[in-house]
Structure 1
Amino acid sequence: MLEEVERWLTRRSWSVADRSLDRLLAAKTARGTTVSVVLPALDEESTVGAIVSVVRRELMERAPLVDELVVIDSGSSDATAKVAAEAGARVVHRDDILPRLPALPGKGEVLWRSLLVTGGDVVCFVDADLREFSADFVTGIVGPLLTEPDVQLVKAMYDRPLGSRGAPGASAGPSAGQGGRVTELVARPLLNLHWPLLAGFVQPLGGEYAARRTLLERLPFPVGYGVELGLLVDALHTVGLDALGQVDVGTRLHRHQDDRALGRMAAAIYRTAQLRLSRSHLGAHLVRPELTQFERGENGFVPRTYDVDTEERPPMREIAEYTAGRAA
């Protein structure tokens, strides 16, 4: 198993510098491939505009690599939608997509619905809270899908500083790469123990990845925080390890969540993994799909119990509106 992972790392791990923009444009033209970039966004007015501006300026106006740029607003209470539209994105509200099916809260829900309002052969997801954003995030993960016909899904890999570069108290030295706490404490152990073929992914939970539509429309989408792990595991079982890849794009700077939020994220990721294990192991027992955390109140610690995301949307090709739209 280790030898297989090492071979995969040699064949399917790249750097963004391995493919020039000219090469990507030539491959895109030769194959007639279209590319959609999707930003799921919830209250990201401080960062979404800069990301949209970079993608539009560098990858749509200066070089026609991206065919459509869509921000899916999942109910922002700030000016996210206005800022994104002014920067040049097409903004669609989550609740306006497939209105017959009431939306569930969660990032995975937004990514799933985005397939209904985009048309690219390759769909590239980028989180909307990134700072100091570089177009390398898009060119890096889209690149192998344009130049390698047998690659189906590509994840970005990067350093994740825990602190803000140049900010007071910023992490430095050995702590500079400790931003992926849920990855290291939950996702990586789960993958190593249960799906060791995926042990070579540096950032399995990263929100920057691209895939062929023909793959995404075949996969179920966990509606919440488990979406990245769920898609990665299901893609492995659907197309095999050699169809998956990763590209080094440098450093990812973004907003970090507090420990309680990370706890809820970890629980959802564990639940997503457990559901997949139960499907493949006869008689596996389900765990309690709730997480209790504690906050200090006036009279001591107060328990707060949260539901762990358990709902999943079916493969998009099972949705009548999607298949009808693709046929049209």
Structure 2
Amino acid sequence: MISIVIPVLNEGATVRQVIRLVKKTTRKVEIIVVDDNSRDNTVEEAMKEGVRVITSSQRGKGISMREGLMAAKYDIVMYIDGDILTYPENIVELLTDPIINDESDFVKSYFTRQAGRVTQLVAKPLLSILFPELAHFQQPLSGMIAARKSFLSRVQFENDYGVDIGLLIDMHVLGARITEANIGKIENAMQTWEQLSKMSREVSRTILHKAEHMNLPQENLETLGNINLIREQMEYSILESIDKLHKMVIFNLDEAVFTQDYLQLAAHAFDCEVSLQQILEHYSDPVTILEHTAALFRDRNLAELLEVADAIPVVPDLKAVVHELKKRGYACGLITDGFECVARHIKNKLGMDFVFANRLHLYDSVATGELSIPEYFRQPSEDGTDGLLRYNKKNILPYIAHKYHVMPQNIIYVGSGVEGSDLLKEAGIGVAFDTEVECIEKVADKIIPGPYMSPLLSIAQASPEKFRLKLPPISKKQVRRIGIGSLVALAGAGLVYLAARQLKKNDEQKPAALLN
């Protein structure tokens, strides 16, 4: 039995085809897609295939691989990328048969194409110096692998481009039997020079880190100094931003999304119901309750925490409602008193845009028992000192309005009011959902009796005046200035266009970036 883990980031266009190909195997498998907080429809596409989808606690392939391992239930774990459409149909057998037949503990793939520049100029030279026993591997940076779970649980997953070479070295140090498997011809996207530079530095750093306790001869140290042949790293990052949005719907995860209480179910799953009840009975301060509750989940890993969340039914039509709201130009997000890692997972499953929550501290994807309460859930003391801050979600709406440049009256908040009516009062439109709170009609602008969320679409559509941006009047003199400014901006845009054309022409004269 095999657990197949597919780490993905913005691979909505390919992930379903990869999953379908894997399903063709005759082996008994489970498929786990670990989403690295994608901004496209990756999660939605993966869920259409009926596989388990979990959200990584933070960005990085290594973390996604480790958290996929935590979720894996079988003794053999296989990893493949979610953006390659040229895998052979027997990819599962090629990577796992040597382990099933007890010929290997770790299988590293290689495939038909010329080795990439980072492999040739960085990885292989460094391996030949520091780990000569591994220098013969054709593609040490390949990410399509399989291994026994007992070995994977003892290795370190680097959280950058060094993850694959790091696993190879760790497996070697652990004494695992390592073999290579030819998986045919593979085609993947070409890397930019910036990515190549970043990869070279991170691969180098990983190999050197693994060998840092070795005593190197002086001539080898001099050789190492000449390895860095790829240009200096340029900053490469993916930014998540929903800046300058005009309309927003904020759902209270605990009151208007989950149909059962997450903490109660988690306490039941982890056999700490009595402790949770004692906390709720003995403490009244929200901060103290949160901190003691977080301590209950110490040593629980992310996969366990998300498994509880996946077992909770959400409001039946919520995903469809969110999809329609986004088509109408609304940003949709969650707030919760609970844990950010859980909320982000639900956010991705429902196709929402953002999360505001308390941060449960994770180390190597395992809860430490500590919790951080962000500034937007805190209210300064009345005397203005830096003393103890009080927990108060009332500040979240002005915080969001300022952060995303959205007018407060353009924010719809959906909650039950059980935890307080402040947010229902402060929002542009406060919507009470499926609530039994007395006199809620005096606080909320609209009431949805539940259990369905679809009436929210009529509420959002029925209030166009509240979502109309109000621009101040301008004088004729300002009009003339705007006209001159527009001409200047147009001229500047022309210069930028010409410069871009020249850069493109120069780039076309350079050799194309090679695959890694």
Same fold per superposition (TM over 0.5): yes
Q: Once the two structures are superposed, what CA deviation does each residue of 1:28-60 show, in whole Å capped at 9, x if it has no partner?
A: xxxxxx20001100001111110101112x12x
**What is aligned with 2:300?**
321
Cα shift at 1:87: 2.6
CA distance in 2, matches of 1:280, 1:137: 37
Q: Once the two structures are superposed, what CA deviation does each residue of 1:200-248 show, in whole Å capped at 9, x if it has no partner?
A: 21111111000000000011111111011111111111115xx000111
**TM-score, with structure 1 as normaliser:** 0.66
Match of 1:74, as an amino acid? D
Q: Relative to 1, partners in 2 of residues 1:182 and 1:137: Cα closer, same or farther, differing over 3 Å?
A: farther
Match of 2:97, as an amino acid? G
Cα shift at 1:320: 3.4
CA distance in 2, matches of 1:268, 1:151: 28
Does the residue aligned with 1:279 lie in a helix, a strand or coil? coil
Does the residue aligned with 2:211 lie in a helix, a strand or coil? helix
**What is aligned with 1:251?**
185
In our comparison, the structure showing a higher alpha carbon Rg is 2
Q: Relative to 1, partners in 2 of residues 1:181 and 1:39: Cα closer, same or farther, differing over 3 Å?
A: same
Match of 1:185, as an amino acid? L
**What is aligned with 1:27?**
none
- What is the correspondence of 1:171-182 to structure 2 with a 5 Å cutoff? 177-178=114-115, 180-182=116-118
**What is aligned with 2:21?**
54
Q: Once the two structures are superposed, what CA deviation does each residue of 1:39-91 show, in whole Å capped at 9, x if it has no partner?
A: 100001111110101112x12xxx2x142001100010001111111133221
User: Within the alignment, does 1:35 sit opposite 2:2 as a pair?
Assistant: yes
CA distance in 2, matches of 1:118, 1:278: 32
**What is aligned with 2:35?**
73
Q: Point out where structure 2 has 5 or more consecutive residues left out of the alignment.
A: 238-297, 305-516
Cα shift at 1:279: 2.6
Select 1:274's aligned residue among 204, 208, 218: 208
User: Within the alignment, does 1:88 sit opposite 2:50 as a pair?
Assistant: yes
Match of 1:244, as an amino acid? I
Does the residue aligned with 2:4 lie in a helix, a strand or coil? strand
CA distance in 2, matches of 1:245, 1:108: 22
**What is aligned with 2:133?**
197
CA distance in 2, matches of 1:185, 1:46: 32
CA distance in 2, matches of 1:46, 1:305: 26
- What is the correspondence of 1:1-328 to structure 2 with a 5 Å cutoff? 34-56=1-23, 58-59=24-25, 63=26, 65-95=27-57, 103=58, 105-147=59-101, 149=102, 151-160=104-113, 177-178=114-115, 180-240=116-176, 243-281=177-215, 293=232, 304=234, 320-321=299-300
Q: Once the two structures are superposed, what CA deviation does each residue of 1:169-193 show, in whole Å capped at 9, x if it has no partner?
A: xxxxxxxx25x22212211111122
Contact 2:5–2:69 (CA under 8 A) maintained in structure 1: no
CA distance in 2, matches of 1:55, 1:282: 44
Q: Once the two structures are superposed, what CA deviation does each residue of 1:256-280 show, in whole Å capped at 9, x if it has no partner?
A: 2111111101100100011112133
Match of 2:299, as an amino acid? A
Does the residue aligned with 1:139 lie in a helix, a strand or coil? helix
CA distance in 2, matches of 1:272, 1:123: 23
Q: Point out where structure 1 has 5 or more consecutive residues left out of the alignment.
A: 1-33, 96-102, 161-176, 295-303, 308-318
**What is aligned with 1:19?**
none
CA distance in 2, matches of 1:116, 1:258: 32
CA distance in 2, matches of 1:119, 1:281: 40
Cα shift at 1:150: 5.0
User: RMSD across aligned C-alpha pairs, in angstroms?
Assistant: 2.8
Identical counterparts, % of pairs: 30
**What is aligned with 1:165?**
none
How many equivalent pairs are there?
Answer: 236
Cα shift at 1:154: 0.3
